Copies of this chain bind each other. A is one copy, B any other.
Amino acid sequence: MTSLSKPVASKPSGRRGRPPAAAGDALTRDKIVATALELLDQHGLAAFSVRDVAKTLGVYPAAIYWHIPTRNALLAELVAHVLRDLNPKCAVAAWQDWLRELFIGYRDAIRLHPNIAPLIGAQLVSNASMDFDLMERMLQVLSEAGFRGQRLIAAFNVVIAAQVGFVTLEFAPAPAEDPAGWAEDMQRLIGSVTAERHPLLAAHLPRMANRSFTLRWQNGTVISLDSHFTAYIETVIAGLERLASQIN
């Protein structure tokens, strides 16, 4: 993680100041992040509030703001925390295998905290939560694949975009208000498909209901889309192979 805008954390300044009340009572940035992540996991982004984090920590809301500049900064911190340690092993593998490992590792990380998903692509700040080591390694891998110069950068962006795309959709949250009613609406809608007007859709409906991105009422936390994700990875890698071969 790149840790932008982290307040300069003016060094402990030696002696002065009472010791933390009961050894574990001191409010720290880490403790705030941990608690915030728990709350996000439990209740989702829609219900997430700084005040709630404060209450859970047994502290006044304003206390949070001593350690963290803003709600958005806290959320960005959560993204960085969830995506830390993403770097695939630098083993001898082919570039294709490295990319596979990256994609799968990314999805697994999000799977542990799926409610973070809507934040990932949604803000430039969270886009930036990738460390230099990982970027360097990715450039290296794509160079091995045959990309040079301008096209190396393009390939880089293609990989980042692909990495985020499927998983964001897979774990998009269902509506908070009245999910049951919404599921009914969706199923009624699906029931309105007719073989006359939409023959292919009607034919594949059993396989698509609650599985295709446009016809789901539950997300990837309930209905996992493993085989589709594998197809996605292989599509992107095969596409990159072809693109690389066209250049040289």
A positions within 8 Å CB-CB of B: 2, 4-5, 70, 72, 117-118, 121-128, 130, 132-133, 135-136, 139-140, 143, 149-158, 160-162, 164-166, 168-170, 172-177, 181-182, 185-186, 189, 193, 197-201, 204, 207-208, 211-217, 219, 225, 227-228, 231-232, 234-243
List 16 additional contacts besides A128-B186, A162-B232, A238-B238; criterion CB under 8 Å.
A4-B185, A4-B186, A121-B168, A124-B217, A126-B172, A127-B172, A128-B214, A143-B200, A153-B204, A157-B212, A157-B225, A160-B169, A161-B169, A161-B213, A235-B236, A238-B243
Contact yes or no, A198 B135, CB < 8 A: yes
Residues in B neighbouring A168, C-beta threshold 8 A: 121-122, 164-165, 168
Contact yes or no, B235 A140, CB < 8 A: no
Chain B nearest CB, measured from A225 CB (Å): 7
Contact yes or no, A2 B213, CB < 8 A: no
Choose among B121, B200, B213 the residue that contacts A157 (Cβ–Cβ < 8 A): B213
By secondary structure, the A interface counts as helix
Chain B nearest CB, measured from A28 CB (Å): 23
Residues in B neighbouring A185, C-beta threshold 8 A: 4-5
Residues in B neighbouring A215, C-beta threshold 8 A: 128
Instruction: Report how far A123 CA is from B46 CA in the complex, Å.
Output: 11
Instruction: Report how far A189 CA is from B214 CA in the complex, Å.
Output: 39
Contact yes or no, A123 B118, CB < 8 A: yes
Instruction: Report how far A173 CA is from B4 CA in the complex, Å.
Output: 16
For the complex of A and B, 5 pairs with smallest distance between CB atoms: A165-B165, A239-B239, A235-B239, A118-B122, A238-B242
Instruction: Report how far A90 CA is from B156 CA in the complex, Å.
Output: 33
Instruction: Report how far A165 CA is from B163 CA in the complex, Å.
Output: 8
Can you list 6 A-B contacts with CB-CB less than 8 angstroms, sorted by A residue number? Answer: A124-B219, A132-B197, A136-B198, A160-B214, A237-B239, A242-B242
Contact yes or no, A121 B172, CB < 8 A: yes
Contact yes or no, A156 B208, CB < 8 A: yes
Instruction: Report how far A155 CA is from B174 CA in the complex, Å.
Output: 23
Instruction: Report how far A151 CA is from B140 CA in the complex, Å.
Output: 33
Instruction: Report how far A165 CA is from B149 CA in the complex, Å.
Output: 23
Choose among B162, B200, B235 the residue that contacts A136 (Cβ–Cβ < 8 A): B200
Contact yes or no, A231 B151, CB < 8 A: yes
Contact yes or no, A161 B154, CB < 8 A: no
Contact yes or no, B127 A201, CB < 8 A: no
